[in-house]
Amino acid sequence: MNVHDLLRELREPNDTKIVLLVADGLGGLPMEPGGKTELESARTPNLDACVREGVCGLSIPVLPGITPGSGPGHLGLFGYDPLQYRIGRGILEALGINFPVGDRDVAIRGNFCTVDSSGVISDRRAGRPATERCVAVCRLLQQIHIPNVEIFIEPVREHRFVLVLRGDELGDAVNDTDPQLTGHKPLEAHGADPASENTARIANQFIAAAARVLKDEAPTNMVTLRGFARYPKVQRMQEVYGVRPVAIAVYPMYKGLARLVGMDVPEAGATIADQVATLRKLWEQYDFFFMHYKYTDSTGEDGNFAAKVEMIERLDAEVAPIRALNPDVLIVTGDHSTPSKLRSHSWHPVPVLLWAATCRPDPVTEFGESYCLHGGLGQIQALHLLPLALAHANRLGKYGA
Amino acid sequence: MNVHDLLRELREPNDTKIVLLVADGLGGLPMEPGGKTELESARTPNLDACVREGVCGLSIPVLPGITPGSGPGHLGLFGYDPLQYRIGRGILEALGINFPVGDRDVAIRGNFCTVDSSGVISDRRAGRPATERCVAVCRLLQQIHIPNVEIFIEPVREHRFVLVLRGDELGDAVNDTDPQLTGHKPLEAHGADPASENTARIANQFIAAAARVLKDEAPTNMVTLRGFARYPKVQRMQEVYGVRPVAIAVYPMYKGLARLVGMDVPEAGATIADQVATLRKLWEQYDFFFMHYKYTDSTGEDGNFAAKVEMIERLDAEVAPIRALNPDVLIVTGDHSTPSKLRSHSWHPVPVLLWAATCRPDPVTEFGESYCLHGGLGQIQALHLLPLALAHANRLGKYGA
């Protein structure tokens, strides 16, 4: 039996409030053997207070050894099996620039590249043009028209853009046209089924038109297309869990992921303090609050251990005003680990704390990877956190008599 | 691969003996922050001795956050996936009064209700009649005859009775006729497939006949029907595990659940001491013994922390004579938690101990929720306990060469 079907059956109405605070890339590693992680190094009196009253553990975003991107990482925290719900790269790219993808759309990631006079690719990224150049060349592509389909071109940055095809009967089982190697011509698009053949035919017309429009624009004189993807069919959190969810996020991709599962996505402000102010303002209107904090991930990606520690301490300072709102359940965790030592996302389990009045005590008194090993949640798959939150919020009935 | 298929393939004959001692609702919570749970508060020298020699952990009955009823809770402990094997409410109700449900039966929970002169329900529970009254009105319903079907009516208590329809081609995909609200007429029964349409037609005839028979019996002058259910098809423990299983239980529902998986269910006596005497008497005849102890759950449901502690201590006293029989494997756990603080079943993991000569040592020396966090079993889904018992009983061969 599908867990969502089970939850839909068991859910009960209640006014209780759940806050899911996601510190992106929270988990880390020590820089030296015997050292501490970023979270263990940070002074976090407010998080530690939650830990002492709540229950801790380590969250496995997808499966042991699997490093998630932001999409699967967040879907898991929202209680959606990231192996069941797959979000194509084109969709993620579109969400990342806040493009309102719809049901009739196929979203595609485009790259500008350089081809020689025989059409062979000499640079797959067109010399990484400045983003202003990307914007200007996209404007040229926006002149392209193809019958029976609406075309949207949006610059992302450098050599990257988003192409959205809007029409009827458009499938997304289409190969990437990027040959992944220089010295080859772009591949032709092919569809694996009739609807995807429609998409492939349009994509090939688009590529041919782009070649004409861009022929004097070297090094950005050609395009490749990747990650053809339709908007995934996802049950809304409202229907599955019976909550009124809202996302309080700054960056477009996280807003897009939240919108995908049915969250409202109002303007949240630019800083975590703004986000907490937004939370306060929306407190009566909603009962499930997803707050996204980016800087634990970006400092980790920069390999800046000290900056990540500082970002964690800044986040900790905002935990007090969140607690002051008296949520019934507060979960603090990350969507994945981003150890400064690795300068990238990683597969390591992510520290998680769950605070509620109905937590069974565990011996953990500080928030940190090695302390969480002794926590009452044990090592838990991320997608089980949301049902636990609903249980502690007294929003689930008994299964079976 | 299905775990039962695997076990059926690996099982090996042996004379070893396994005791599964289920303290219903064993897991708990402290009443106050910093306090101890019921089990941690109880003096349990005999259980603690098992813990020191055995291995401990926490059992997750269904999934994190899911609170099980007795049915799913016990199925898990018997090694049956409670999400795969679902037991309808009608069947549980019939099991609860020891009605011998068979393959051609549809079991249904009936409620007496009160309707006004226009047939609209004014009290869904008919003023909760005394059980003697329920028995008397059931006797009136027993006069009803419908062609081609046998009808059994058994009183439960107050407004509740069990209706069993026995016949051929009877499905159970039939809606409840209880509208769940007063001010409405009872709903008509409808079947979702041809066999269930047969059942629905008979149910509607029964309801019409009941209305006639009961018309002068206000407030018990009408019935509603809920939880239409056939007996689930379940492989017997004998076939899957190769054991000769027996249940030593006092209450009908647990006897019924045991019968469902193929256990013999002899008369066990009324007290836990009687049950241990029965165990001793049956020791040579069987090799898998399920003992059910109810009072840890009922005291928890009453919110009586001190009484639950006392019931745990009484159970502990009976562990010594059980150990004296020299079982090869002894498991002590619960089917779910019933914290006195919550006065209800809960989703919290349940302490479990497994004693056998082949346990790998762990550091746990006392039986209790927080101690079990450090146990060698970790946090384990309940349905994995039975294969572990078989392994420690030397009843499973190697998987693959």
Give the model's confidence band at A113: pLDDT under 50 very low, under 70 low, under 90 confident, else very high: very high
Touching check for A217 and chain B: CB below 8 Å?
A: no
Instruction: State residue A49's pLDDT score.
Output: 98
Q: Which of residues 124-183 of A touch B (CB under 8 A)?
A: none
pTM: 0.90
Mutate to test the interface with B, among A374, A394, A399 (most CBs of B within 10 A): A399
**Contact list, B379 vs chain A (CB under 8 Å):** 378
E strands present in B51-207: 55-60, 105-115, 121-123, 150-157, 160-166
Question: Does residue B297 contact residue B28 with C-beta atoms inside 8 Å?
Answer: no
Provide ipTM, 2 decimals: 0.89
> Which of A3, A53, A358 is closest, CB to CB, to B63?
A3
Mean pLDDT for the stretch of residues A74-85: 96
- Give the model confidence (pLDDT) of A16-57 as tens digits: 999 999 999 999 999 999 999 999 999 999 999 999 999 999
Touching check for B89 and chain A: CB below 8 Å?
A: yes
Instruction: State residue A100's pLDDT score.
Output: 87
Burial annotation A39-50 (CB, 10 A radius, 16+ → b, else e):
bbbbebebbbbb
Q: B41 to chain A nearest CA, in Å?
A: 14
Whether pLDDT at A220 is above 90: yes
**Contact list, B64 vs chain A (CB under 8 Å):** 380, 384-385, 387-388
- Give the model confidence (pLDDT) of B82-97 as tens digits: 999 988 889 988 988 8
Instruction: State residue B322's pLDDT score.
Output: 98
d(CA B327, CA B316): 16
Instruction: Identify the closest residue of chain B to A384 by CA–CA distance.
Output: B64
C-alpha B114: how far from its chain's center?
31
Coil vs helix vs strand at B88: coil
Instruction: State residue B180's pLDDT score.
Output: 85
Structure tokens at B387: 């294969």
Instruction: Identify the closest residue of chain A to B35 by CA–CA distance.
Output: A361
Structure tokens at B230: 């056939």
Residue pairs between chains A and B whose CB atoms are closer than 8 Å: 88
Touching check for A362 and chain B: CB below 8 Å?
A: yes
Contact A378 B70 (CB under 8 A): no
Q: A297 to chain B nearest CA, in Å?
A: 28
d(CA B149, CA B191): 17
Least confident of A105-114, A343-352, B250-259, B326-335: B250-259
Coil vs helix vs strand at A351: strand
Contact A1 B83 (CB under 8 A): yes
- Give the model confidence (pLDDT) of A237-269 as tens digits: 999 999 999 999 998 889 989 999 999 999 999
Instruction: State residue A98's pLDDT score.
Output: 85
d(CA A292, CA A331): 12
User: What burial class does residue B190 get, using C-beta atoms within 10 Å of its C-beta: 0-12 exposed, 13-18 middle, 19+ buried?
Assistant: middle
Instruction: State residue A401's pLDDT score.
Output: 76
Whether pLDDT at A226 is above 90: yes
A219 cis-preceded (ω within 30 degrees of 0): yes
Question: Does residue A131 contact residue A242 with C-beta atoms inside 8 Å?
Answer: no
B319: left (phi over 0), alpha (psi -120 to 50) or beta: alpha
Contact A362 B373 (CB under 8 A): yes
Whether pLDDT at A1 is above 80: no
Of B69, B388, B106, nearest to B230 by C-alpha is B106
Instruction: Identify the closest residue of chain A to B72 by CA–CA distance.
Output: A400
Task: Walk along chain B (401 residues) and give the pLDDT tens digit of each residue.
Answer: 789 999 999 999 999 999 999 999 999 999 998 899 999 999 999 999 999 999 999 999 999 999 999 999 999 999 999 999 988 889 988 988 889 888 899 999 999 999 999 999 999 999 999 999 999 999 999 999 999 999 999 999 899 999 999 999 999 999 999 998 899 999 999 999 999 999 999 999 999 999 999 999 999 999 999 999 998 889 999 999 999 999 999 988 899 899 999 999 999 999 999 999 999 999 999 999 999 999 999 999 999 999 999 999 999 999 999 999 999 999 999 999 999 999 999 999 999 999 999 999 999 999 999 999 999 999 999 999 999 999 999 999 999 98
Contact B68 A10 (CB under 8 A): no
Instruction: Identify the closest residue of chain B to A2 by CA–CA distance.
Output: B83
Instruction: State residue B19's pLDDT score.
Output: 98
Instruction: Identify the closest residue of chain A to B70 by CA–CA distance.
Output: A401
Instruction: State residue A96's pLDDT score.
Output: 83
d(CA B296, CA A247): 43
**Contact list, A358 vs chain B (CB under 8 Å):** 29, 342, 346
- Give the model confidence (pLDDT) of B175-214 as tens digits: 999 998 899 999 999 999 999 999 999 999 999 999 999 9
Per-residue HEC secondary structure of A101-124 comes to CCCCEEEEEEEEEEECCCCCEEEC
Contact B37 A389 (CB under 8 A): no
Residue found under tokens 């069974």: A360
Instruction: State residue B316's pLDDT score.
Output: 98
Contact B69 A374 (CB under 8 A): no
**Contact list, B84 vs chain A (CB under 8 Å):** 1
Touching check for A374 and chain B: CB below 8 Å?
A: yes
Question: Does residue B113 contact residue B96 with C-beta atoms inside 8 Å?
Answer: no
